[in-house]
Amino acid sequence: MYMVKVGIVGGTGYTGVELLRLLAQHPQVEVAIITSRSEAGVCVADMYPNLRGHYDQLKFSVPDTVALGACDVVFFATPHGVAHALAGELLAAGTRVIDLSADFRLADADEWARWYNQPHGAPGLLDEAVYGLPEVNRERIRAARLIAVPGCYPTATQLGLLPLLENGLADPARLIADCKSGVSGAGRGASVGSLFCEAGESMKAYAVKGHRHLPEITQGLRRAAGGEVGLTFVPHLTPMIRGIHATLYATVVDRSVDLQALYEQRYADEPFVDVMPAGSHPETRSVRGANVCRIAVHRPQAGDLVVVLSVIDNLVKGASGQAVQNLNIMFGLDERMGLAHAGLMP
Ligand SMILES: NC(=O)c1ccc[n+]([C@@H]2O[C@H](COP(=O)([O-])OP(=O)(O)OC[C@H]3O[C@@H](n4cnc5c(N)ncnc54)[C@H](OP(=O)(O)O)[C@@H]3O)[C@@H](O)[C@H]2O)c1
């Protein structure tokens, strides 16, 4: 049986360790390299005891593009800018790249530069980068050499709104995404806002005037709608470790459409989108640790404002699980491989 040889750049962060947890159960993947500049030489199982018994020989190492270039595929679980610097060299070596950061998510290099306050580091690669949302781009992902894994808010929001926009049902000018995230969404790096005493027992909105995920979400919704969209996106920080809860509002004037049937049909063949029965309220805890987006669609008081509830685990369907799903598609494996487990309850 062929084993896909994998490298991971940025193995000490939350998406890096989540990749390791998921890949430990993947029967056709061998993790050959995992990098960390600060923990080089440390065994991964010493830093993350949940991995004891899975990667006992594997140590963090300093990123080395020659060694990484001997892998079949390299994941980047790093802050933005790192994949810009290294992806070109790896692609030239014949290694495919799955980037979990925002480096290749926006098709327009100038727009990326405006939102990230620095010049785009690899505009020449944008043409071949494929946005790794399998529910939209599965065929392109199969042949891709470079994948931009969608962000967490963008995954929950796009999957929730796509059926309405693809079918021209929602007023594209008046969309609202009211989203809540757990604190792991900010990564493992120390920051005051992520401290227990700052984030616990409280909830707050942030970046209301413009969050970096806004241009990514609108880019995806524009493609679905076939034209311009107007989106108000308000992210919130909530006192949980994992999870995104997106409450999405769209005006659907045509009240004759069976929205439940529409959503069920759109996602009937999708292994990782679960359209819940009519009247449901999906919970973030039902997707904790699982590569699932759970969706419910409501039309309160039979009015023209439709409310879609969409939940994911930010570290799984919102990052590392979706990245593994992309790997499976790229290497012709069963898309569910290594990802079939249920969420953790309670
Ligand atoms: N957290 C989430 O829920 C989530 C969801 C979707 C997407 N993402 C994206 O995924 C990426 C990783 O997120 P995270 O939350 O896992 O971040 P994180 O916890 O802050 O970890 C970042 C990792 O990158 C490494 N790193 C930092 N600078 C580097 C450099 N210049 N060169 C090589 N390695 C470097 C760090 O290790 P060393 O410094 O030791 O090398 C660390 O292992 C980010 O771009 C983030 O936006 C995160």
Is pLDDT above 90 for 258?
yes
For the cut 90, the answer to whether the pLDDT of residue 56 exceeds it is no
Rounded Cα distance between 84 and 254, Å, is 45
Alpha carbon of 318 to ligand 1 centroid (Å): 14
Average pLDDT of the segment spanning 316-342 = 98
Q: Note the pLDDT tens digit of each residue in 65-118.
A: 999 999 999 999 999 999 999 999 999 999 999 999 999 999 999 999 999 999
Ligand 1 in reach of 315 Cβ (< 6 A): yes
Residue with CA closest to ligand 1 atom 20: 187
Is the pLDDT reported for residue 1 higher than 90?
Answer: no
Nearest to 278 by CA among 312, 309, 256: 309
Q: Out of 43, 71, 152, 179, pick the active-site residue.
A: 152
Instruction: Count the neighbouring beta carbons within 10 Å of the beta carbon of residue 109.
Output: 16
Which one-letter amino acid corresponds to residue 198? Answer: E
Question: Which domains does the chain carry?
Answer: 4-128 (3.40.50.720), 152-314 (3.30.360.10)
CB atoms closer than 10 angstroms to residue 298: 17
CA 206, chain centre distance (Å)? 20
Q: What is the pTM of this model?
A: 0.98
Average pLDDT, integer, range 45-60? 94
Q: Give the residue, by CA position, lying nearest to ligand 1 atom 19.
A: 13
Tell me how far apart the alpha carbons of residues 306 and 297 are, in angstroms, rounded to a whole number.
Answer: 7
Give the pair of three-digit tokens for residue 208.
Answer: 């209301």
Q: Does ligand 1 lie within 6 Å of residue 282's CB atom?
A: no
Q: How far is Cα 77 from Cα 8, in angstroms, rounded to an integer?
A: 7
pLDDT in tens, 136-188: 999 999 999 999 999 999 999 999 999 999 999 999 999 999 999 999 999 99
Cβ–Cβ under 8 Å, residues 273 and 159: yes
Task: Check if 13 has its Cβ closer than 6 Å to any atom of ligand 1.
Answer: yes
What would the DSSP string read from start to end of 99-140?
Answer: E-SSTTT-S-HHHHHHHHTS--S-GGGTTTEEE--HHHHHHH
In the reported structure, the alpha carbon of residue 213 is separated from the centroid of ligand 1 by a whole-number distance in angstroms of 16
Beta strands (DSSP E) in 103-256 are: 129-131, 146-148, 175-181, 204-205, 231-237, 244-251
* Cis? peptide before 27, omega within 30° of 0: no
Nearest to 149 by CA among 36, 339, 23, 314: 314
Specify the pLDDT at position 143. Answer: 97
Residue 152 annotated to the active site: yes
CB-based contacts of 42: which residues, under 8 Å, 6+ apart?
Answer: 36, 59, 60
13 C-alpha to center of ligand 1: Å? 5
**Is the CB–ligand 1 distance for residue 271 below 6 Å?**
no
How many angstroms separate the alpha carbon of residue 77 from the centre of ligand 1? 5
- The pair phi, psi for residue 234, each rounded to 5°, is -120, 105
Exposed e or buried b per residue across 228-250, where buried means at least 16 C-beta atoms within 10 angstroms of its C-beta: ebebebebebbebebbbbbbbbb
CA of 336 to the centre of ligand 1 (A): 25
Look at phi and psi of residue 129 and say left if phi exceeds 0, alpha if psi is from -120 to 50, else beta: beta
* Closest atom, ligand 1, to C-alpha of 181: 3
pLDDT in tens, 195-251: 999 999 999 999 999 999 999 999 999 999 999 999 999 999 999 999 999 999 999
Tens of pLDDT, residue by residue over 2-25, are 999 999 999 999 999 999 999 999
- List, for residues 274-294, the tens digit of each pLDDT value: 999 999 999 999 999 999 999
- What is each CA distance from 281 to 260, 277, 297, 307, 341, in whole angstroms? 14, 9, 9, 11, 21
11 within ligand 1 shell (Cβ under 6 A): yes
Percentage with pLDDT > 90 across the chain: 99
Sign of the CA dihedral with 322 first, then 327, 330, and 335 last: negative
Can you tell me which atom of ligand 1 is nearest the CA of 314?
3
